[in-house]
Amino acid sequence: MQSNIEDLLRELAPQVLGALVRRSGQFDACEDAVQEALLAAARQWPKDGTPDNPRSWLLTVATRRLTDQLRSETARRRREETAAALEPAVPGEASAYDDTLTLLFLCCHPSLSAPSQLALTLRAVGGLTTAEIASAFLVPEATMAQRISRAKERIRSAGATFAMPPASERHDRLRVVLHVLYLVFNEGYTTSSGPELNRADLTTEAIRLARMLHQLVPEEGEAAGLLALMLLTDARRAARSTADGWIVPLDEQRRELWNMDQIQKGVALLTQTLGRVPVGPYQMQAAIAAVHDEAPTAQDTDWPQILALYEVLERIAPSAVVTLNRAVAVAMVKGPLAGLALLGTLDADGRMAHNHRLEAVRAHLLERAGELVAARDSYRKAARMTASIPEQRYLAMKAAHLA
């Protein structure tokens, strides 16, 4: 019962916040009011039962809280204007879904840094508390509270309004929204630091928001591609580590533990999208994930197809990380020395200077090439570079086995 209420509140939070911001235009005050309404619901609904119209209940309570705030914080001469702005919405006014999409765009305003976009999206759209977000990114709650507060202030200073960006800006803004959701998912799937390999709460929230975004803009191929990528990747979560927390590499995972329902849904999304709209990087990454997921065993993986897909991905969205992943595919198709040669092109790339994955992949390919001493040194170096404790343990173990 409590879990169902929490899920409902998380789903309704952005809808209520969007409706309130649309009517009053004061993001900061509205966000505080909605949080108070959610807290009131979390306390009252388990005892009294969920109201017939929970969204309306939350909107009414949040509106009252906002009115109370404004009465105490603004001059009396603005009371009538405020009250008029907060009249109950006319039935059939802008839809909740429209509000949610607008809210996503607002939280990903280009005036904000990527960390601020992440934090504000999780707070305002994801419904996570400041403490939960701080815990996810391993920073003190006070630090995260300041980050969120500064993000709201920057939006206000930038003169951002609660409205969809003009058509000329919409594509670029949607790209930012997709990137923020992608970052949330990645941080949850492989946490960058701390004792846990993954954070299921973040991956689950990223998938929920990506699904919502796809429903809002079904014609956008990259929104479908991102959702497919998340589903196909998250499907392997149960097999990625042992019961005592040791990492299990992809080629050693028990595939019967993979979530076939998620794989089928991801493949179906991809099938509906590819060839219908211009191809984008999320669709290509999803296609690569699908090739992995559809292989009955690691030995059955179609590496030539994966390499071909990485070559396309590198043409449409070149990056050091794509080159790193392509090097693995090259090694699987043409041998470890060919992969190491491509990997060497990244040594002078400043973006990879502090990325432990470059050394981890190098160690893996050196081991496959029989260069065991060099592989051991690279495993040790990679272990020193990562802040993830599970990855440190795994890389140190690999080095120890080569000693």
Residue 201 is predicted with a pLDDT of: 82
Q: Note the pLDDT of residue 76.
A: 45
CATH code for the domain in which residue 337 is found: 1.25.40
Of 370, 372, 343, the closest CA to residue 357 belongs to: 343
- Determine the pLDDT at residue 313: 97
For residue 90, give both structure tokens.
């006319």
- Our CA angle for 334, 337, 338, nearest 5°, is 45
Which residue among 58, 86, 114 closes a domain?
A: 86
Give 245's DSSP letter. S
Q: Give the residue among 218, 231, 97, 222 at the shortest CA–CA distance from 172.
A: 222
Please state the domain count of the chain. Answer: 2
What pLDDT is recorded for position 36?
87
| Amino acid symbol at 359 | E
142 is a domain residue: no
pLDDT for position 73: 57
Nearest Cα to 320, choosing from 335, 342, 336? 342
Q: Is the residue at 31 inside a domain?
A: yes
Cα(244)–Cα(293) distance, rounded to whole angstroms? 24
**Residue 259 located in a structural domain:** no
Residue 58's domain comprises 1-86
Tokens of 380: 């040790």
Q: What is the pLDDT along the chain (403 residues), one digit of tens a residue?
A: 566 788 788 878 888 888 888 877 778 788 888 888 888 888 889 888 888 888 889 888 888 888 887 776 554 444 444 433 444 433 333 344 457 778 888 888 888 888 888 888 888 887 777 887 887 676 788 998 999 989 888 888 888 777 778 877 778 888 888 988 998 899 889 888 788 888 888 898 889 889 988 988 898 999 999 999 999 999 999 999 998 889 999 999 999 999 999 999 999 999 999 888 889 999 999 999 999 999 999 999 999 999 999 999 999 999 999 999 999 999 999 999 999 999 999 999 887 877 899 999 999 999 999 999 999 999 999 999 998 899 999 999 999 999 7
Any domain includes 391 = yes
156 found inside a domain: no
pLDDT given for residue 266 in this prediction: 97
Q: What are phi and psi of 355, to 5 degrees?
A: -95, 115
Rounded (10°) angle between helices 167-189 and 96-107: 80
Structure tokens at 324: 């790193």
The pLDDT score that the predictor gives to residue 254 is 96
Rg (CA), the chain: 24
pLDDT of residue 1: 57
Beta strands 193-194 and 387-388, pairing class = parallel
Dist CA 379 CA 391 (whole Å) = 11
Q: Has residue 262 been placed in a domain?
A: no
Q: Is residue 162 part of a domain?
A: no
Contacts of 248 (CB under 8 A, 6+ apart): 239, 240, 241, 242, 254
Task: Mark which of 86, 119, 144 sits at the end of a domain.
Answer: 86
The last residue of one of the domains, among 86, 112, 127, is 86
300-316 per-residue burial string, b: 16 or more CB within 10 A, e: under 16: ebebeebbbbbeebbee
pTM exceeds cut of 0.85: no
Residue 66 belongs to some domain of the structure: yes
Query: 368, 331 in Cβ contact below 8 A?
Result: yes
